[in-house]
Amino acid sequence: MRIGIVSETYPPEINGVALTVHSLAAGLAAHGHDIDLIRPRQSQPQQAEPGIDVLEVRGGALPRYPGLRFGLPAGRTLRQHWSQQRPDAVYVATEGPLGWSAMRAARRMGIPLSSGFHTRFDSYADHYGVGLLTPLVRGYLRRFHQRAAATLVPTDALAQELHDMGISNARLLRRAVDTQLFHPSRRDDDLRAAWGVDAATPVVLYVGRIAPEKNLELAIQAFRAIQRRVPGARYVWVGDGPARAALEAAHPDFIYAGVQRGEALARHYASADLFPFPSLSETFGNVIIEALATGVPVVAYAEGAAREHLVDGVNGYCIASGNASAFVDAAARLAGNPALIRHMGRAAHAGVAGLSPDAVIRDFETLLREMAEENLHEDATNVVHA
């Protein structure tokens, strides 16, 4: 099959959506499909990947997010491009101007179309002081995704949330994690020594975008509670974002590792002891299953990946959404118990060891093939009745 994938974010950008879309594109290409990737042009050169053809279109800088871009409308360009090399199906991963024009172009050309719900933009409004816009954002998301034959979501809970929003076409496509890359064996004593800790000192880890919607104040509150119990504890932050400069100025005792990728990222996970993740704005939260895979117990709210993979008291603590005091208490209690950290860490790795990225690709492949075959059947039926 030739499969069109449209995304306003993609590596070398580092964020959950970019990495998820890349894994889908690379996985489909590895299965022998031709991938037609459409994305905004970036200042960094695009690295060629086997089986993935890239069409770069005009884009603009995303306000308050250095290094990230959004795609400008490109309907005419897409129609011309797809007229020359028509895809069997199109997947639109992001809801920006490029995504919207891709939706319109695919529908106009009769190309089977699916979308992905990766980011809770409706929940971001409050974090950026424009909460009154939340109903408008939800209305836009509803109109956007209802135009697709299927909207792919990573959890049953999110499918129900979309149904409640009026998006009736949600279909489950679960997430997986590379358990060979993210593995407890990546623990690095030299890295821990560089952080100034010994084997008995707990390292608390944050991985992700450093931005207001991640509930950073609660992450800091939890660490300070840990520090009162274990004064030598260190807090390592991996990532970048619009709140990083203010965070560094306010908390110079934290360790800021910047953006990490691949094996370096896996070493940071595995060399930590505890992963408190207080975000309430995730559709999934890939970082949760990455931490679990590397044998690091997680404290998180019962949302997204935590609801699916975190067993309270077994591989971490799954906290009722919004209960900040319970979140802080659980993180401090766990950090002060090295034996429990080790026990939960073993359970964390074992609990996600069976997740298969290849199974996810097969499910995605099946969906796209079904859409393409259904479209061919409809075309044949229309010809017969013409």
The domain locations on the chain are 2-176+356-385, 184-352
Residue 24 is encoded by which pair of tokens?
């889908």
> Hey, do 2-176+356-385 and 184-352 end up sharing a CATH topology, with the first three levels equal?
yes
Residue 160, pLDDT score: 92
Type and span of the H or E element at 40: strand 34-40
* Spatial separation of the C-alpha atoms in residues 129 and 126, rounded to whole Å: 5
Per the prediction, the chain carries an average pLDDT of: 91
Q: How many CB atoms lie within 10 A of CB 85?
A: 12
Pairing relationship of beta strands 59-61 and 69-71 according to DSSP bridges = antiparallel
Residue 379, pLDDT score: 52
pTM for this one?
A: 0.86
Residue 384, pLDDT score: 42
Residue 157, pLDDT score: 87
* Spatial separation of the C-alpha atoms in residues 174 and 74, rounded to whole Å: 30
Angle between helices 134-146 and 156-165 (to 10 degrees): 100
Quick check: helix, strand or coil at residue 181? coil
List pLDDT tens digits, range 265-315.
999 999 999 999 999 888 899 999 999 999 999 999 999 899 999 999 999
What's the helix, strand, coil split of the chain in %, to 5? 45, 20, 35
Residue 383, pLDDT score: 43
Pairing relationship of beta strands 34-40 and 52-57 according to DSSP bridges = parallel
Q: 246: which strand partners?
A: none
Per-residue DSSP letter, 85: S
Residue 138, pLDDT score: 87
Domain 184-352 matching CATH 3.30.1360.30: the answer reads no
List pLDDT tens digits, range 339-358.
999 999 999 999 998 888 89
Region 98-108 average pLDDT: 96
Quick check: helix, strand or coil at residue 16? helix
Query: Does 212 sit behind a cis peptide bond, omega within 30 degrees of 0 on the bond before it?
Result: no
Region 217-246 average pLDDT: 96
**What percent of the chain clears pLDDT 90, i.e. is strictly above it?**
76
Judge whether 283 and 289 are in contact, CB under 8 Å.
Answer: no
Residue 376, pLDDT score: 65
Residue 300, pLDDT score: 97
pLDDT band for position 6 (cuts 50, 70, 90): very high
CATH architecture of 2-176+356-385: 3-Layer(aba) Sandwich (3.40)
Quick check: helix, strand or coil at residue 30? helix
The answer on pLDDT for 127 being more than 60 is no
**What percent of the chain clears pLDDT 70, i.e. is strictly above it?**
92
Residue 284 is encoded by which pair of tokens?
């999934």
The answer on pLDDT for 130 being more than 80 is no
Residue 60, pLDDT score: 83
List pLDDT tens digits, range 164-198.
999 999 999 989 999 999 999 999 999 999 999 99
The answer on pLDDT for 381 being more than 60 is no
- Phi, psi at 51, each rounded to 5°: 85, 0
List pLDDT tens digits, range 7-65.
999 998 888 889 999 999 999 999 999 999 999 988 777 778 999 999 999 988 776 66
Judge whether 21 and 109 are in contact, CB under 8 Å.
Answer: no
The answer on pLDDT for 385 being more than 50 is no
